[in-house]
Amino acid sequence: MWISLIAFAAISLHVAGILAAMHAVVHARTAQGAFAWALGLVLLPYVTLIPYLFLGESHFSGYVDLHRQRQERLFILRDSPEWPDRGAYLQRHATEQDQRYAAIGAMLKTRLHGGHGLTLLIDGEAAFASMLQAIGEAERYILLQFFIIHDDELGRRLQAALLERAAAGVRICVLYDSIGSHDLPRHYVTALRDGGVTVHPFATRRWRNRFQLNFRNHRKVLVVDGYRGFVGGLNAGDEYLGRKPPLAPWRDTHMRIEGPAVADLQRSFTEDWYWVTGEHPPFQPPREHCGNARTMIAATGPADRQESCSLFFTQAIHAARKRVWITTPYFVPDQAVFSALRLAVFRGVDVRVLIPIRPDHRTVFMASTLYAHEATIAGVRIFRYRPGFIHQKVMLIDDDTSVVGSMNLDNRSFRLNFEIAALNIDEAFAGEVASMLEEDLANADEIHPDEFRRLPYLRRVAMHVARMFDPVL
């Protein structure tokens, strides 16, 4: 009898594995991912079936339909009753153009706006000092979104600042990712709600989301009173201030934006907020003529019809004629981005990529090491940052363009996460970014092509095995 039960269970698992493999072939976002899942599900359903429930599901039609509806209308905020100009404000700023990045704007249904004042915020102390000051000065509303919020010293400082403003009558909307902030205690959220803050977790499935680990909302956005916006790579936790060894000191970058593009930060937040709550957050138009910079907000995600994050990087790299410098904690590029980097080298572009010297996720680190080796063979200069863990997501193109945001160079950002970044065209601001990156590169060691061959054989094998998992890294 026991043998019969075991045989029945084994046959049932294989049947379930075959059905899941059929689902994977139809729904996987890449051919490599479909092949990997199908092979594992058919041959080893005992091992792969449960992980597929958490990582393989790719259907979240409600959000997709909502997102595409908003994209077709171009700007959700145009029809807001709180905006009496009915879009005239954005139309006044629609003449800003730069053919290098026109394809990005067309793909994302967004625009390059002029008249911005930009402030570079290097590392956590500067970034959170500026953000907490802006929160403390809020008079009407605060829109806040983080992938991770921790109940630690920084998290409680943020909580106290929000509660103080809520008590003063400021309307506050807080969004955090349900998986990224999985260890956020209930009492932290309850205290915010009891104090008048509206706070919700983001999830792509309103039901059975516990079986969905992909499609995380990795965006970091803060908008205060409609005219001050913040975006970058920092989350709300003590490690982002460099207070948690062994990754300390933590190297990261954020930026403050004042000007028309803050409306697009609010649009991105609004789409996420409306999906979770069914309601619109407060809105007021940004101030005009805050500076000379031109800025485009690029909000990408798996609900887009195209693989928008990968294409964003590809087009930006193709635009480079003099240099393209990139810093990323995870260097696991897809073929489109990797080809763009190699082609840039052949055009005579100075291509540099700065990555960590120490891992926070070992499998990703091993895959990154292998890609770094292959990039050096192609002429891309790869550097490892010595002082601590580098988490910033920054790109510098030629002498006038910079990108600061939440996008990593890995498949998770390219295809699985909701991301956001600001593409800025301004020589003065790009000069600040260049000075920052020059200092980072001065504290880094360059990787040479022959270093990989000196590694132990089994370690090289492990790196190749790690790269096989890059569709889910």
In this prediction, residues 389-416 reach a mean pLDDT of 95
Catalytic residue among 93, 391, 440, 470: 391
Final residue in a domain of this structure, among 39, 55, 71: 55
Does one domain contain both 139 and 217?
Answer: yes
Q: What is the pLDDT of residues 158-183, one digit of tens each?
A: 999 999 999 999 999 999 998 899 99
Confidence of residue 12 (pLDDT cuts 50, 70, 90): confident
DSSP 8-state code for residue 450: G
Catalytic residue among 252, 264, 304, 398: 398
Whole-number Å distance between alpha carbons of 383 and 442: 10
H helices then E strands: how many in the chain?
16, 17
Does one domain contain both 345 and 427?
Answer: yes
Final residue in a domain of this structure, among 296, 318, 342: 296
In this prediction, residues 59-87 reach a mean pLDDT of 52
The sign of the torsion formed by the CA atoms of 234, 235, 239, 243 equals: positive
In this prediction, residues 415-424 reach a mean pLDDT of 95
Residue 229 pLDDT exceeds 90: yes
Is residue 301 in a domain?
A: no
Q: Which of the pair, 10 or 395, is modelled with greater confidence?
A: 395
Q: What is the pLDDT of residues 312-371, one digit of tens each?
A: 999 999 999 999 999 999 999 999 999 999 999 999 999 999 999 988 888 888 888 889
Residue percentage of the chain with pLDDT more than 90: 62
Q: Determine whether 109 is an active site residue.
A: no
Q: Give the residue numbers spanning the domain of 134.
A: 61-296
Following DSSP, what letter does each residue of 136-191 receive, concatenated? HT-SSEEEEEES-B-SSHHHHHHHHHHHHHHHTT-EEEEEEETTTTTT--HHHHHH
Does one domain contain both 173 and 278?
Answer: yes
Does one domain contain both 78 and 154?
Answer: yes
Catalytic residue among 23, 67, 218, 318: 218
Q: Determine whether 398 is an active site residue.
A: yes
Whole-number Å distance between alpha carbons of 139 and 42: 58
Beta strand 250-251 pairing with 389-390 = parallel
Does one domain contain both 345 and 405?
Answer: yes
DSSP 8-state code for residue 304: S
Whole-number Å distance between alpha carbons of 87 and 97: 19
Catalytic residue among 150, 393, 400, 410: 393
Predicted pLDDT of residue 41: 74
Cβ atoms of 391 and 218 within 8 Å: the answer is no
Residue 211 pLDDT exceeds 50: no
Does one domain contain both 208 and 318?
Answer: no
Does one domain contain both 148 and 280?
Answer: yes
Q: Determine whether 225 is an active site residue.
A: yes
Q: How many domains does the chain have?
A: 3
Does one domain contain both 156 and 109?
Answer: yes
Q: Phi then psi for 93, rounded to 5 degrees?
A: -110, 15
Beta strand 171-177 pairing with 323-327 = unpaired
Is residue 303 in a domain?
A: no
Q: Which of 329, 309, 144 is nearest to 240 (CA)?
A: 329
Catalytic residue among 23, 67, 220, 318: 220
Say how many C-beta atoms besides its own lie within 10 A of residue 466's C-beta: 20
Does one domain contain both 76 and 184?
Answer: yes
Final residue in a domain of this structure, among 248, 276, 296: 296
Is residue 112 in a domain?
A: yes
Does one domain contain both 166 and 272?
Answer: yes
Catalytic residue among 123, 151, 225, 272: 225
Packing angle, helices 262-277 and 61-72, rounded to 10:
140
Q: What is the pTM of this model?
A: 0.86
Is residue 302 in a domain?
A: no
For residue 354, the SS3 value is: strand
CATH number of the domain at 218, please: 3.30.870.10
Does one domain contain both 385 and 454?
Answer: yes
Q: Determine whether 318 is an active site residue.
A: no
For the chain, the average pLDDT equals: 86
Does one domain contain both 141 and 263?
Answer: yes
